[in-house]
Amino acid sequence: MPNRSLQNHPFLAACRREAVRYTPVWLMRQAGRYMEDYRALRAQYGFLELCKKPDLAAEITVTPVERLKVDAAIIFADILLILEPMGVGLEYSKGDGPVIHRPVRNGKDLDDLKDFDPNKELSFVYEAVKKTRAALDDRVPLIGFAGAPFTLASYLIEGAGSRNYTHAKKLYYTAPEVWHCLLQRLSQLITKYLNCQIAAGAQAVQLFDSWAGCLTPGDYEHFVLPYTRSVIAGITPGVPVISFSTGTAGLLKHIRAAGGDVIGLDWRINLDEGWATVGHDVAVQGNLDPVALFAPPKEIRRRVADVLDRAGNRPGHIFNLGHGVLPETPVDHVIAMVEAVHELSAR
């Protein structure tokens, strides 16, 4: 059963499209390189090492909540952690981002992937969730997360970041049976992984489909939607699911069809237009441009007001950026944004 603590908190109430006393706000990459505390830890530890140390992961998760006064924490982890136990040679190389040394390009590569139990192999994440919940002491809810099937499959196939996703698309064009087997396998693992985070104490979960914007609507509907829908349908009942993607203004109806209590909107579509597209029977999250946080505080406040005006006081809006906080972002500007959201949205 989901943990019922903080069920009336504005963040969780907004996920259920209930009236709240102010618009809740949190940020993707809330704990990251824009914060001095995090940079100090990264100078001492590798990224994977930090993820696998629950005490430090909890500390990294809680620090920005205290500093920024946001309305939710998100566990410090990475979407690719679930791929490492498959034996694909995951490495976080300095300056180049994550690399997979043994990518999946055909049926044999798929067969070579190791089976594993997410409950055991990723136990450090659940321990971090437990420690974070204890440290938060029910001040704000904790969000768990995972990569969506398409984005994880694309990383597995491409082996690193990509501009055109040639290998991933080529696989579903030329070997659809391999693609479908891979996506089915990933969707089952993701569902178990998220439910383990919930069992450990996560009070909401976000599914990151960060690369879905490269897809045509038809390809999303045929090759992706069934698996995203399967993950969302398998989440522990009563726990809000946020479906996040970026660059997907042309896919919003399909993303809505895949499910989720909250649909993430990026800055490439006005929030009122995006909400009308997905339907007002679902909550939305977003959608300030992350680069807007480099503007002077007065301009940040004006842009926050514009997003809030477009939400129109309709129940079910969670304020966020359209993607993660950029590393060079001034912390004081982030704080100014959070304060503006709370002040301007007060009912």
CA dihedral 211, 290, 273, 218 (to 10 degrees): -10
Choosing from 78, 219, 261, 266, the catalytic residue is 78
Whether 37 sits among the annotated catalytic residues: the reply is: no
How distant is the alpha carbon of residue 185 from its chain centre?
A: 20
Structure tokens given for 67: 């500093």
Choosing from 17, 29, 105, 301, the catalytic residue is 29
114-140: string of b/e by CB count within 10 Å (b at 16+)? eeeebeebbeebbbbbbbbbebbeeeb
Choosing from 34, 38, 126, 155, the catalytic residue is 155
Whether 78 sits among the annotated catalytic residues: the reply is: yes
> Do the beta carbons of residue 92 and residue 98 sit within 8 Å?
yes
Q: How far apart are CA 304 and CA 312, in angstroms?
A: 13
Q: How far apart are CA 164 and CA 118, in angstroms?
A: 31
Choosing from 16, 42, 67, 303, the catalytic residue is 42
Label each residue of 135-188 as H, E or C.
Answer: HHCCCCCEEEEEECHHHHHHHHHHCCCCCCCHHHHHHHHHCHHHHHHHHHHHHH
192-217: string of b/e by CB count within 10 Å (b at 16+)? bbbbbbbbbbbbbbbbbbbbbbbbee
Whether 165 sits among the annotated catalytic residues: the reply is: no
Whether 42 sits among the annotated catalytic residues: the reply is: yes
Choosing from 16, 22, 33, 268, the catalytic residue is 33
Whether 155 sits among the annotated catalytic residues: the reply is: yes
Q: At CA 207, angle to CA 201 and CA 208, rounded to 5?
A: 130
Q: Which residues are catalytic?
A: 29, 33, 42, 78, 155
